[in-house]
Chain A
């Protein structure tokens, strides 16, 4: 009998432990299913967590969890602080999330993208010991203590979030993210509208072009366009746009003073560029006026004044640019004359 008791005991132990295993697996799969539902409810696939869900999915589950969570710490309060660039980062994070989900056809259950908002989930912020933004943490399957076992993304990564986030995910989780799907510049609706507009407009345009009545037939428009493009480019406006340079700087030592010219070749300020662009352009325009207009003026006095004015302004402009260039770059251009000329 004793043997049968032992048997029974072993049997019941095995069955209980199996039941526990099954129920644990059941609980885990339930959690994953919950996460998947939450993911599908969000437009970008980023799950919005709060204190309750943090406890449900992270702190009160047993390790190892069948999933990792990548958490972006957000604070709506700070969205208007331009130096933190939080809205941009939120957008980039969502972009990586949606690309990741799309690349895995929604069948991914290993990694979920989440965000936490400061006001709603202050205690979770404390759990992670986050007191500076922006911040991204990866909660791995084995992480128990949110302070010590989680991995934080380096601050240097936030300048190019999409790329460094992909690198971060791929190196830490061994999952591939795949190509990032940037949203097209024009949405489909806009595209349809534009095509529709073009279709309606094209017969009228073609008519006008055949008749030669458009503004494109006016050379003056082309002329001013070309000169403007020239002015725009030589003034380094593209540099200003791409680098988002300010028009001028405040002097740190004297707040009432403004700095218009920046010393050093790599950087230029907005107004500085436009001023030099103006100097570049004005000489050519004056030369054109002299060549094509002034020589045909009948009145001798006007002619002389015009000529002297152009010579003076041209000399001044060229001298200014040479001076500014030497000042800014530090180059000293010299001729290679025989030494006795010096």
Chain B
């Protein structure tokens, strides 16, 4: 690039005391990085300050539970863990079906702290894992960008990454999910790849494979790395940038990385058998052919080489074609029949919407609209083009990698909003480069003009201040996003009204009740959303959970919820269920309750058990619970468990979510009894009445209807039920 050279020539005096200057710069950089780490950590603490140190959402509870198991039982037990507390009576093999990176990381941190006599609970460690790794991720970004454009750009990128909203959304304190550590692993792997590419050192190449291994352990998104790096290698070869450094950066990664990846149980032989990985093998072959050509070129005279090229090219091409044919055959016969659905929908964006409705229906897989970019990367969206251009002036191996990274990730993010997370680091790196170059050039020109300040410098200063103001806009936006948009843990809810702040802590109240008042082996049925939380917080066996691997099982629960009381009782009883938990928001107006999810229970249930028919629950094509509701709806278990005794609250039974009075207000339960309802009625727990009631009811059919309530009272005095 021309600018630094010009400045070197113009002010040679500045470079006289080079060593001191570098040392000073190094110390300053260190402290700046430390502050960036603090910033990255502290901007993610809003959730802890606003709520408390608590794990968020649903999936993190599963990860938390796995971590608890790991810290209690040790790594070998964890590896072989068969969990019989979920998917009763099927169970689930946890050790072989999770990405263990996050769990092992938090487990190690906990173990380390404990061995240093710092007694933190596993939960605290889990809550703060994500913020800690965000600090690591910013440092990794510094290292990566430093390899591309020097320390200044590195520092700017690091500070941008510390507060990019897209990444904050997945890494606030309490958001204990795979992405929390995976983004660090992703950036660090890329850094080590570029470091190897710049130095040609085998040491870094080995570290790179280890970093890749860590990434494979952490997140399914590792396939992005194993496709992006080969793409870059191919790009370098095609544009005539092949060097031995490139070979060292790539070949060990493929060999060691693939071997290591195959060690992770959840990946296993997929590392060599699924087509997501084939690109890397193809490029592995190509790079060998190219290396061979360069070797021949080195040992032959130019004239001989020309002759040899023809020969080598023909032979090489023949070999290449043969191997490509084999690869294509392998792709065609691989278990997933080529690429997996998600990957295919990245290549052909319309694929998922045409053929895979399950992928297309998930909100994370929707294509984003333009406001998503403003929300998730904010002003970086404006700076990226400048960064791309800066990468081309001049184009190096490392900067071409950054360009490729931003181009692929921005395309992928356009297809699936979820991949915005992969775009965020790339956007930070390019924006950091752009900002740093702009500062470099513009502040430089002020400096040279200082002796007699002219208006030119003022304009420059204006431009610099406009850059600074953009950075400030970014900061305000990021802090706002971190504080307002992404910090709600969804297990504790708050609302602000005229009389002040209201806290709804009903979920934890209910789970605590379960864990204190029920037997440890009791089975609790609920809709699958609450499965992870029930196992983690109440430590009770559930029928279905958020790992929705068995559709029939979910459909069974859906069917029970949509059946009349007696049929539901029979289904639940056959599954040994003792308690049924429903989430009800009608009293306080919590919209994501079970009645609102009820249409999915009916649909999923009806998909497997045809006697559940959706039209039976619909009046004029709508789910209604008011006086217009269908009899099937008013008699199904979900309606009854949700609205049982609801009329006692206000006398009218007005549902605040559906904004209507309910259809059937006074009814009694025959096969279930209410055992606990939380403070705001958000969670209601019912117990299945014991079997003998049913036998009695059968024997005295005529009386059963009238005596069903009193029979439960009497049941306590009779003989114990042999089935219990």
With contacts A207-B313, A217-B239, A291-B438 taken as known, whether A223 is within 8 angstroms of B388 at the C-beta atoms is: yes
Nearest neighbor of A300 in chain B, beta-carbon distance:
B456
Contacts of B386 in A (CB 8 A): 283-285, 287-288, 291
Contacts of A321 in B (CB 8 A): 374, 382
Nearest Cβ on chain A to B406's Cβ, whole angstroms: 7
Inter-chain CA distance A6–B385, complex, in Å, is 103
Nearest Cβ on chain B to A221's Cβ, whole angstroms: 10
Contacts of A193 in B (CB 8 A): none
Q: Does B82 contact A (CB under 8 A)?
A: no
Contacts of A267 in B (CB 8 A): 369
Q: Which of B355, B395, B407, B610 contacts A225 (CB 8 A)?
A: B407
Contacts of A325 in B (CB 8 A): 371, 374-375
A307 adjacent to B463 (CB under 8 Å): yes
A236 adjacent to B357 (CB under 8 Å): no
Inter-chain CA distance A234–B3, complex, in Å, is 30
B462 adjacent to A311 (CB under 8 Å): yes
Query: Which stretch from A14-22, A56-64, A130-138, A332-340 is at the chain B interface?
Result: A332-340
Contacts of B313 in A (CB 8 A): 203, 206-207, 210
A304 adjacent to B455 (CB under 8 Å): yes
With contacts A237-B414, A242-B349, A314-B466 taken as known, whether A288 is within 8 angstroms of B385 at the C-beta atoms is: yes
Q: Does A13 contact B (CB under 8 A)?
A: no
Inter-chain CA distance A172–B607, complex, in Å, is 11
Q: Does B293 contact A (CB under 8 A)?
A: yes
Nearest Cβ on chain A to B661's Cβ, whole angstroms: 29
Contacts of A335 in B (CB 8 A): 476, 479-480
Inter-chain CA distance A241–B366, complex, in Å, is 12
Nearest Cβ on chain A to B259's Cβ, whole angstroms: 31
- Give the residue among A230, A267, A290 with the most B Cβ atoms within 10 A: A230
Inter-chain CA distance A219–B367, complex, in Å, is 30
A216 adjacent to B239 (CB under 8 Å): yes
Q: Which of B317, B406, B441, B456 contacts A203 (CB 8 A)?
A: B317
Q: Does A232 contact B (CB under 8 A)?
A: yes
Q: Which of A210, A272, A291, A315 contacts B437 (CB 8 A)?
A: A291
Nearest Cβ on chain B to A160's Cβ, whole angstroms: 5
Interface string of B461-492 (1 = CB under 8 A from A): 01100110010010011011101000000000
A242 adjacent to B456 (CB under 8 Å): no
Q: Does A252 contact B (CB under 8 A)?
A: no
Q: Which of A167, A265, A308 contacts B607 (CB 8 A)?
A: A167
Q: Which of B309, B367, B374 contacts A210 (CB 8 A)?
A: B309
Q: Does A188 contact B (CB under 8 A)?
A: no
Nearest Cβ on chain A to B231's Cβ, whole angstroms: 13
B370 adjacent to A273 (CB under 8 Å): yes
Q: Which of B384, B400, B414, B470 contacts A239 (CB 8 A)?
A: B414
Q: Does B389 contact A (CB under 8 A)?
A: yes
A222 adjacent to B403 (CB under 8 Å): yes
Q: Does A233 contact B (CB under 8 A)?
A: yes
Contacts of B467 in A (CB 8 A): 287
Q: Does A243 contact B (CB under 8 A)?
A: yes
Nearest Cβ on chain B to A99's Cβ, whole angstroms: 12
**Which A280-307 residues have a C-beta within 8 angstroms of B?**
280-281, 283-285, 287-288, 290-292, 295-296, 300, 303-304, 307
Nearest neighbor of B321 in chain A, beta-carbon distance:
A199
With contacts A314-B466, A333-B477 taken as known, whether A266 is within 8 angstroms of B369 at the C-beta atoms is: yes
Q: Does A268 contact B (CB under 8 A)?
A: yes
Inter-chain CA distance A257–B620, complex, in Å, is 35
Nearest Cβ on chain B to A154's Cβ, whole angstroms: 8
Q: Does B383 contact A (CB under 8 A)?
A: yes
Q: Does A329 contact B (CB under 8 A)?
A: yes
Nearest Cβ on chain B to A301's Cβ, whole angstroms: 10
Inter-chain CA distance A223–B395, complex, in Å, is 10
A288 adjacent to B434 (CB under 8 Å): yes
B367 adjacent to A202 (CB under 8 Å): no
A239 adjacent to B239 (CB under 8 Å): no
Q: Which of A160, A216, A227 contacts B238 (CB 8 A)?
A: A216
A160 adjacent to B357 (CB under 8 Å): yes
Nearest neighbor of B400 in chain A, beta-carbon distance:
A222
Inter-chain CA distance A295–B449, complex, in Å, is 13
Q: Which of B371, B384, B466, B480 contacts A311 (CB 8 A)?
A: B466
Inter-chain CA distance A206–B371, complex, in Å, is 44
Contacts of A222 in B (CB 8 A): 392, 395, 400, 403
Q: Does B445 contact A (CB under 8 A)?
A: yes
Q: Which of B374, B407, B615 contacts A226 (CB 8 A)?
A: B407
Q: Does B460 contact A (CB under 8 A)?
A: yes
- Give the residue among A217, A280, A300 with the most B Cβ atoms within 10 A: A280
Q: Does A153 contact B (CB under 8 A)?
A: no
- Give the residue among B317, B355, B368, B463 with the most A Cβ atoms within 10 A: B463
Q: How large is the interface on B (under 10, 10 to 19, 20 to 34, 35 or more residues)?
A: 35 or more
A334 adjacent to B382 (CB under 8 Å): no
A268 adjacent to B607 (CB under 8 Å): no
Inter-chain CA distance A243–B360, complex, in Å, is 11
B456 adjacent to A304 (CB under 8 Å): yes
- Give the residue among B369, B372, B406, B463 with the most A Cβ atoms within 10 A: B369
A336 adjacent to B483 (CB under 8 Å): yes
Q: Does A276 contact B (CB under 8 A)?
A: yes
| Total interface residues in chain A, CB < 8 Å | 81
**Which B370-399 residues have a C-beta within 8 angstroms of A?**
370-375, 379, 381-390, 392-393, 395
A238 adjacent to B415 (CB under 8 Å): yes
Inter-chain CA distance A225–B408, complex, in Å, is 11
Nearest Cβ on chain B to A158's Cβ, whole angstroms: 13
Nearest Cβ on chain B to A203's Cβ, whole angstroms: 6
Inter-chain CA distance A280–B380, complex, in Å, is 9
Inter-chain CA distance A52–B314, complex, in Å, is 65
Q: Does B2 contact A (CB under 8 A)?
A: yes
Contacts of A229 in B (CB 8 A): 407, 410-411
- Give the residue among B309, B385, B410 with the most A Cβ atoms within 10 A: B385
Inter-chain CA distance A132–B522, complex, in Å, is 53
Inter-chain CA distance A321–B380, complex, in Å, is 13
Nearest Cβ on chain A to B558's Cβ, whole angstroms: 15
Inter-chain CA distance A280–B411, complex, in Å, is 15
- Give the residue among A160, A242, A329, A334 with the most B Cβ atoms within 10 A: A242
B462 adjacent to A307 (CB under 8 Å): yes
Q: Which of A225, A283, A310 contacts B383 (CB 8 A)?
A: A283
Contacts of B715 in A (CB 8 A): none
Nearest Cβ on chain B to A155's Cβ, whole angstroms: 10
Contacts of B722 in A (CB 8 A): none
B367 adjacent to A242 (CB under 8 Å): yes
Contacts of A288 in B (CB 8 A): 385-386, 389-390, 434
Inter-chain CA distance A199–B313, complex, in Å, is 12
Nearest neighbor of B470 in chain A, beta-carbon distance:
A318
With contacts A229-B407, A295-B441 taken as known, whether A328 is within 8 angstroms of B371 at the C-beta atoms is: yes
B463 adjacent to A238 (CB under 8 Å): no
Nearest neighbor of B408 in chain A, beta-carbon distance:
A229
B314 adjacent to A203 (CB under 8 Å): yes
Interface string of A314-329 (1 = CB under 8 A from B): 1101100110010011
19 inter-chain pairs at a CB distance below 8 angstroms, sorted by A residue, are A185-B348, A209-B238, A216-B239, A219-B395, A222-B403, A229-B411, A233-B411, A241-B350, A265-B372, A285-B385, A288-B390, A307-B463, A311-B462, A318-B379, A321-B382, A322-B473, A329-B371, A333-B476, A336-B479
3 tightest Cβ-Cβ pairs between the two chains A and B: A284-B385, A233-B414, A238-B414
A residues with CB within 8 A of B: 154, 160, 162-163, 167, 171-172, 182, 185, 199, 202-203, 206-207, 209-210, 212, 214, 216-217, 219, 222-223, 225-227, 229-239, 241-243, 265-268, 272-273, 276-277, 280-281, 283-285, 287-288, 290-292, 295-296, 300, 303-304, 307-308, 310-311, 314-315, 317-318, 321-322, 325, 328-329, 331, 333-336
Given contacts A233-B411, A234-B414, 18 further A-B contacts (CB under 8 A): A160-B357, A185-B348, A199-B321, A209-B238, A214-B238, A226-B388, A232-B414, A242-B353, A265-B371, A268-B370, A280-B370, A292-B437, A295-B441, A304-B455, A311-B463, A318-B470, A325-B371, A335-B479
